[in-house]
Structure 1
Amino acid sequence: MAVAAVLQAASLATTTTWLDAGAFRKEGLIGAQCVHKIVSARGPCAIRASLSKDDVAAPNAFAKVLHNCPTCVAVAAALLVPFSSTAADVDVDTERVSAISEPSVLISGPPTKDANALLRDALPLDNKPIKEVQKFLEDITEEMKVPDEKVLEPVERDVRQATLVLNQSKEEILSYIAESKRQEGDHILTTLNEELEGFQKQLEEKDSSIVLPRQKELLRLIGDLEETMIAKFPYEIPEEYAKRPLLMGRATLEMKVLVKNNPNVKDAVLHIVLDGYNAPVTAGNFVDLVERRFYDGMEIQRSDGFVLQTGDPDGPAEGFVDPATGQVRTVPLEIMVEGQKQPIYGTTLELQELGLPKAKIKLPFNAFGTMAMARQESDNNSGSSQVFWLLKESELTPNGDSIHDGRYAVFGYVTENEGLLANLKAGDVIESIRVLHGLDNLVNPSYVVRLL
């Protein structure tokens, strides 16, 4: 990792460096106090700086915070300089880096790396009570990372608060459930309340081993409940794409891979959730190909530790050739940005193009197993059938500031057994991909319905 490499160099330059989780503490409007202990001829690092509103506008203002501390400089440099890596076949460019929108990302909270949490956040929903319940339960993840015998105390507090909000806001939560999904929503809400109360009783036994499994199940119920609050697809698809295969909602897929030459793994079964709310054209294209059995029997074609890629069919074409036209079927680059009514099509979110320096991507490249459409670097709208999965997760980069955010269309995440992706190699074979749930959300399918 670039950050680790530069930090190592910085530590050598300053003799000895101990890094801890609180290496930077927020100071003022933007800036940080470095709390690294650096042993050198100059003694401990004691830099403490903050910037006023006037300083922010001054040239090189942030440099004034960092220039006295080599370790601080190293962290900033590692986040701002381009990464170097091999290019994808169709083509994941790792030599360009999206600009970090502001220096305060160095001191922002931990990034969201869980695929299911990213999917919950990406729903077109604004229900404050249920989001508050969700936040209390998601906070448990960070609290369980602290090796402390009293770790269950904040967990118990979060569960009590989540239960309290759920009970106090039950009527408001129910009012958001779509009429057509009322029975399902009522059932989920009742189950959620019962599970929260049962969780509280279990926590009285002070058994920390139960916490994360119960948290996962409760958050799954919240995600299911939130989906019942979406009465209809939230926007109109642009006319030029309206007749294509579209996923007007979400779908869960199962992908089975035959693993070769690995004594530890013989086959891999992964679950993938595709998000048509934020990438209906891209996700619809993929589901349509899945139903054509396009990927069945196809090999994994790239695995380099950074991405896993497949989808290049035999022959000269680099994508799916539609039998109806004899031409490669392509999809436009499709990026949904927070606050926009519909995805942005055909253009990357470069600052010069759209003027969105603080754009928050709805489906960011933050989770291990993020799934996206590959394309030619020279043509934003050249995606077809080649897809890739990210084999990294963000440690320092906030949502929306990854290398590829706004430049490649994310349309789903591996939500179960994503760790198995690291075991797959070029030459392993996709036995099958099947839609488990959500096929009824696919409209305008182009495949011939199979009577199997």
Structure 2
Amino acid sequence: MSMRFTTTTTSRSATKTSCSLLKGTKKQSKSSSSSSRVSSSSPKSSTRRRIKCFAGKNEEEEEKKKTRDDETKNTTMAKKIVSLSTALGVSLTMTTMPLVGDDVAQAYEYNQNQISQLAGLQANPVTNARALLRNSLPIDCKEIRQIQKALESISDDLRVPGVKFSGVEESVNKSLKIVKNDANKIVDKTASAKKDQVRQYLKDLGTELQDFQTIVANKDKQEVPVAQQKCLSLVTKIEEALVNEFPYQVPAPYDTTLPRLEGRATVEMEVKIKDNAVTPGGKLTIVLDGYNAPVSAGNFTDLIQKKFYDGMKIQRSDGFVVQSGKPENAPKGVDGYIDPATGKERSVPLEIMPESSFMKKKAPEYDFTFEENGMYREQPVLPFNAFGTLAMARREADNNSASSQFFFLLRESELTPSGTNILDGRYSIFGYVVDNQELLRDMKVDDEIVSMKIVRGAENLVKNERAAPTPTTQEEQAPASE
């Protein structure tokens, strides 16, 4: 009797089954003598089966080895990712120190899902800066959040070849229905001084959504993203107007010793790019978030108003971050702004808002990283997800050593998906670049920050500034003559 079978390379049980079939075939071939054709072919067939069985065992061993190699590779990459956070911490303050080269490139090329699995978390982060800023507004209004979510989901429909118009239509219709039926609920949650303003925004949003319906009916692919952004711009204005007060008290001593931004501010940063045939530079728009990082954003706003950054050079640009903020010709050991009130370098604490505190309208975490606080599963409200994330640089050994140095992250968060505690939960994020982010790619060392200006929200800055001590002259020190 002759029997054909296939040995699989991915299942140990399949190999055992194949071998047992081979044994049964051998017994049958020995007892069978009724057919000379069968008996004459049995030895060769049995030999072939033995070869296949041995081959199956070899393939099984190779599969085991491959699995072990993959596990070793994953473990090695996990160690690289963890160790990279330390390397990043050191290099984010020391502007002359390079990153860890090949490990960074390899880590970025590593599959995001594998990194997420290593972290034990699922990563599907929001990477749009404006969406992150909308999500981080301290408001409690289900209706406007539903409109926001519906309109933002259109971005997924735009990724479908030819645009998924059924999805766009559903989102637009849902949003318009909420505006028509629940506008009063949204207005009721607004402070009295802003109610008329919000009513007008809702009226304008309804008009834009009706125009959006026409665009969808005409299947105008080019106009869909334009209409989406117009509607989301109005949603942002409504949500900003719904913030009725600063939601918490900044803890001592930072409430009285450092500037703080109680709200948001918009910055226009003009840069001059040298030796570039494509662009001479331009202006970036940055939104500073004082709701979730009031001290870090307040410090930055204060230094902008002092024109501290005007004329300063880009001090680091390595494809991972663009960094500046160290005073030129600074004394040895000085990395940041010298406060004239004290004659010492201003120190800004580590400041990170966890989602659990945000939901309860509590203050951010200060002084300690999430890891040091045992908050391994905590998510920051402002994550390192967007290209152009703005954060404070600091010394790795001192969480509260930030001063005036800042950096922009130049990668969407492939290496640092939310919650993996590689950069999230370790550095103070206080804003995002929302317009002309592509200029960051062109910036290099010695390019110039021509100027930074607060174009909106300057009134939200609480300076807490002490006057510099007045020098005492010798005449004032001498006793009065009789």
TM-score, normalising length from structure 2?
0.73
Retained in 2: the 8 A contact 1:307–1:388? Answer: yes
1:156-235 counterparts in 2 under 5 A? Answer: 156-235=169-248
In the TM superposition, residue 373 of structure 1 has moved relative to its aligned partner by: 0.4
1:444 correspondence with 2:444:
no
**What are the residue-to-residue correspondences of 1:14-93 with 2, within 5 Å?**
80-83=78-81, 84=84, 87-88=90-91, 90=93
Question: Counterpart amino acid of 1:371?
Answer: L
What is the Cα deviation at residue 71 of structure 1?
Answer: 11
Q: For residue 354 of structure 1, give the secondary structure of its aligned residue in structure 2.
A: coil
Q: 1:217 to 1:356 in 2, by over 3 A?
A: same
Which secondary structure state, in structure 1, belongs to the residue aligned with residue 454 of structure 2?
Answer: strand
CA deviations on 1:117-146 (whole Å, 9 max, x unpaired) are 111111111211111111111111112111
Contact 2:316 2:323 in 1 (8 A): yes
- 1:312 corresponds to which of 323, 326, 333: 326
Matched, 1:339 2:356: yes
Q: Which moved more, 1:78-87 or 1:415-424?
A: 78-87
User: What does residue 423 of structure 2 align with?
Assistant: 404
SS at match of 2:268: strand
> How far off is 1:400 after superposition?
3.2
Partner of 1:154: 167
- Structure 2 CA distance, aligned partners of 1:212 and 1:105? 34
What is the rounded CA distance, in whole Å, between the counterparts of 1:150 and 1:170 in structure 2? 30
Identity %: 42
Letter in 1 for 2:168: V
Residues 150, 304 of structure 1: alpha-carbon distance in 2 compared, 3 angstrom cutoff: closer
Query: Within the alignment, does 1:303 sit opposite 2:330 as a pair?
Result: no
Instruction: State whether residues 112 and 399 of structure 1, in contact with CA within 8 Å, keep that contact through their aligned partners in structure 2.
Output: no
Q: Any idea what the Cα deviations from partners look like across 1:95-135, whole Å, max 9, x if unmatched?
A: 999xx998497884632000001111111112111111111
1:111 paired residue among 119, 125, 131: 125
Verify the 8 A CA contact 1:303 1:426 in the aligned structure 2: yes
CA distance in 1 between partners of 2:306 and 2:350 (Å): 22
Distance across 1 between alignment mates of 2:249 and 2:438 = 36
Q: What is the match of residue 401 of structure 2?
A: 382
Residue of 424, 430, 437 corresponding to 2:449: 430
List alignment gaps of at least 5 residues for structure 2: 1-6, 12-63, 108-113, 468-482
Go from structure 1 to structure 2 and tell me whether the alpha carbon gap of 1:75 and 1:157 turns closer, same or farther (over 3 Å shift): farther
How far did 1:361 drift?
0.3
Distance 1:150 1:233, change over 3 A: closer
Work out the CA distance in 2 between the residues paired with 1:158 and 1:339.
Answer: 29
| One-letter amino acid of the counterpart of residue 349, structure 1 | F
In the alignment, is the contact (CA less than 8 A) between 2:157 and 2:163 conserved in 1?
Answer: no
Cα distance between partner residues in 1 of 2:348 and 2:153: 38
The SS at the match of 2:253 is helix
Match of 2:254 among 230, 233, 241: 241
The aligned amino acid for 2:413 is S
User: C-alpha offsets along residues 23-65 of structure 1, whole Å, 9 cap, x if unaligned?
Assistant: xxxxxxxxxxxxxxxxxx96799xxxxxxxxxxxxxxxxxxxx
- Kept after mapping to 1: 8 A contact 2:123/2:418: no
Cα contact 1:364–1:402 (8 A) shared by 2: no
Measure the CA separation in 1 of the matches of 2:190 and 2:231.
18
Distance in 2, Cα, partners of 1:172 & 1:291: 39
1:254 partner SS: strand
TM-score, normalised relative to structure 1:
0.78
- For 1:67 and 1:169, the matched residues in 2 are separated by 61
Q: Distance in 2 between matches of 1:335 and 1:437?
A: 24
- Residue number among 137, 143, 152 corresponding to 1:123 in the alignment: 137
The alignment status of 1:289 with 2:308, answered yes or no, reads no
Opposite residue 324 of structure 1, the aligned amino acid is A
Q: Residue type matched to 1:80 in 2?
A: A
Q: In the alignment, which of 388, 402, 413 is matched to residue 394 of structure 1?
A: 413
Confirm or deny: 8 A CA contact 2:390 2:429 kept in the other structure: yes
Aligned to 1:27: none
State the shift of 1:325 in Å: 1.5
Q: Call closer, same or farther: CA 1:307–1:42 in 2, change over 3 Å.
A: farther
Tell me: CA distance 1:396–1:300, structure 2 relative to 1, closer, same or farther (3 Å): closer
Q: Distance in 2 between matches of 1:395 and 1:186?
A: 40
| Distance (whole Å) between structure 2 residues aligned to residue 155 and residue 210 of structure 1 | 12
Contact 2:317 2:443 in 1 (8 A): yes
Deviation at residue 395 of structure 1 after TM alignment: 3.9
Q: Given the alignment of the two structures, is residue 370 of structure 1 paired with residue 370 of structure 2, yes or no?
A: no
Query: 1:263-284 CA deviation, whole Å, 9 max, x = no partner?
Result: 1110121000000000000000
Query: Which secondary structure does the structure 2 equivalent of 1:339 belong to?
Result: helix
Deviation of 1:237 after TM superposition, in Å, equals 1.2
Query: 1:119 and 1:76, CA in 2 relative to 1: closer, same or farther beyond 3 A?
Result: farther
- What code does the residue aligned with 2:369 have? T
104 and 378 in structure 1: CA distance in 2 versus 1, 3 angstrom threshold: closer
CA-CA distance at 1:151 after TM superposition: 1.7
CA distance in structure 2 between the partners assigned to 1:359 and 1:310 by the alignment: 29
Q: What is the SS of the residue equivalent to 1:418? A: coil
Aligned to 1:259: 273
Offset of residue 366 of structure 1? 0.4
User: Counterpart of 2:350 in structure 1: which amino acid?
Assistant: L
Change (3 A) 1:396 1:140: farther
Compute the displacement of 1:162 (Å). 1.4
C-alpha displacement of 1:250? 0.2
Give the secondary-structure state (helix, strand or coil) at the position aligned to 2:271. strand
Separation in structure 2 between the aligned mates of residue 254 and residue 417 of structure 1, nearest angstrom: 11
**Letter matched to residue 355 of structure 2:** E
Amino acid of the residue matched to residue 240 of structure 2? E
The amino acid of 1:284's aligned partner reads: G
Unaligned 5+ residue runs, structure 1?
1-40, 46-65
Counterpart amino acid of residue 427 in structure 2: Y
2:335 is matched by which residue type in structure 1?
A: E
Q: Which amino acid aligns with 1:345?
A: Y
CA contact (8 A) 1:101 1:357 kept: no
> Rg: which structure is higher?
2
Give the residue type in structure 1 aligned to 2:309.
Y
